[in-house]
Amino acid sequence: MTQAVNALARSDAPVGRSVGKFAAMTVVVVGLAILPLLLSSYQLALATQILIFAMLAMSVDVLAGYAGRTPLCHGAIFGASTYVVIYASNEYGLPLPPALLLGVLAATALATVFALLAVRTAGVYFLLLTLALGLVIWGVCLRWTHVTGGENGLRGHLREGLFADIRLLYFVVLTVSLATYWAMHRFVSSPFGLTLRGIKDSESRMASLGYNVPLHVFVAFTVSGFFAGIAGALYAIFNNFVSPSTIALAQSVQGLLMAIVGGVGTLLGSYVGATVIILLEQFVSAYTERWLMVLGAVFVLIMIFAPEGIVGKIRALAKRSN
């Protein structure tokens, strides 16, 4: 068991290198694959939701954990994809695959625009700028009533036919999620990814070494928007409904929180963070309405006691024991 933990904790060795790590991964994947046999349809829906939001959190992590820029706009990018998918399927009768593609493209395009505007800022200003940009998109969705349905949102027809069965949807989401994780892992372990980490550690050093920092941040932002778009597109099928609340600041905050709770800069942490937050909400709201207070308290406590998140803490402890 310790070997498996150590294997998980060892930071970012290329996939397939260590046997222990491979074994651990296999166990996890098999476990996830047989969940439909063990869970009720409601619990499976919850698991699907966790996987989708873990993808959103991972997209935030790519930017925050690896490029050192903390964004508060990914909820808007995520939601924009959801809007486009449902709109395209409703208005143009597009079948699912092209609608999903359109959603992902829209999200990536939006991320590109945001990236262009945000690339020269960092730290708190980056946070505030992305916050403002997210609010602009939210404002559009709220006011552009004849396209987005205004505050009534758009109701979809995507859970009929094939996806009426949550099990099929779960498998699709699981597959996409694992594929996305693999892709993101390759991305952050690549030379480009290592440069990003250098930027996170010390921007001035990287700049003086001749690296084009703004370009790297721009690419990282766009890539993260692409992944957020995938999550948003899947959410369109899962939720079958979109409204300005999908795209609101709260969504960006929650995505960021999941990444932080799990561990910024770990990718895997996003799965952990999403699971923790979503299950905590289930548990807490069975007893009280004070979920917002609990969420806020979690935020505060994490920032003080474990800003590196759960996976981050595990890795730190594992390093110490080695």
Query: Quick count: other Cβ atoms within 10 Å of Cβ 74?
Result: 35
Note whether 70 and 126 are within 8 A (CB).
yes
| Residue 109 touches another protein, criterion: CB under 8 A | no
Nearest one of 133, 238, 125, 127 to 177, comparing CA atoms: 238
Please tell me whether residue 197 binds another protein under the rule CB under 8 A: no
Contacts with another protein by CB under 8 A: the residue count is 70
Q: Is 12 in the site for another protein (CB under 8 A)?
A: no
128 binds another protein, rule: CB under 8 A: yes
Tokens at 283, concatenated: 């548990």
Question: Which residue among 5, 131, 280, 306 contacts another protein (CB under 8 A)?
Answer: 131
Query: Quick one: which of 172, 245, 306, 313 contacts another protein (CB under 8 A)?
Result: 245
Q: Which two tokens stand for residue 3?
A: 């070997």
x/- mask, another protein, residues 37-66, rule CB under 8 A, reads: xxxxxxxxx---------------------
- For residues 309 and 260, the answer to whether their CB atoms sit within 8 Å is yes
The interface region with another protein, picked from 7-15, 16-24, 176-184, 289-297 by CB under 8 A, is 289-297
Cβ pair 85, 100 in contact under 8 A: yes
Asked whether position 136 contacts another protein by CB under 8 A, the answer is yes
246 lies in the binding site for another protein (CB under 8 A): yes
For 129, 177, 201, 218, the CA distances from 72, given in Å and listed in that order, are: 8, 22, 21, 16
Q: Which is nearer to another protein, 132 or 215 (CB)?
A: 132
- Residue 307 near another protein by CB under 8 A: yes
Taking CB under 8 A as the rule, does residue 279 contact another protein? no
Nearer to another protein, 31 or 139 (CB): 139
Taken as a whole, the chain contains a residue count of 322
CB of 261 closer than 8 Å to CB of 302: yes
Q: Is 303 in the site for another protein (CB under 8 A)?
A: yes
CA–CA separation, 256 vs 78, rounded Å?
13
With residue 241 as reference, give the H or E element that holds it.
strand 241-242
Output Rg (C-alpha) for the chain, integer angstroms: 19
**CB of 125: closest distance to another protein in angstroms?**
5
Assess 178 for contact with another protein (CB under 8 A): no
| Alpha carbon distances (Å) from 274 to 41, 55, 61 | 19, 9, 12
Contact range with another protein by CB under 8 A, out of 91-99, 102-110, 158-166, 195-203: 158-166
Q: Tell me: does residue 15 bind another protein (CB under 8 A).
A: no
Under the binding rule (CB under 8 A), the answer on residue 98 touching another protein is no
* 8 Å CB contact between 229 and 103: yes
Candidate ranges 50-58, 198-206, 266-274, 284-292; the one touching another protein (CB under 8 A): 284-292
- Considering the rule CB under 8 A, would residue 150 count as an interface residue with another protein? yes
* CA-based nearest residue to 69, from 273, 214, 242: 214
For 242, the 3-state DSSP assignment is strand
- Give the Cα separation of 12 and 62 in Å (integer): 14
Separation of alpha carbons 281 and 103, rounded Å: 28
- Residues at the interface with another protein (CB under 8 A): 36-45, 70, 117-118, 120-121, 123-125, 127-129, 131-133, 135-136, 138-139, 142-143, 145, 150-153, 155-156, 159-160, 164-167, 239-241, 243, 245-246, 253, 256, 260, 282, 285-287, 289-293, 295-300, 303-304, 307
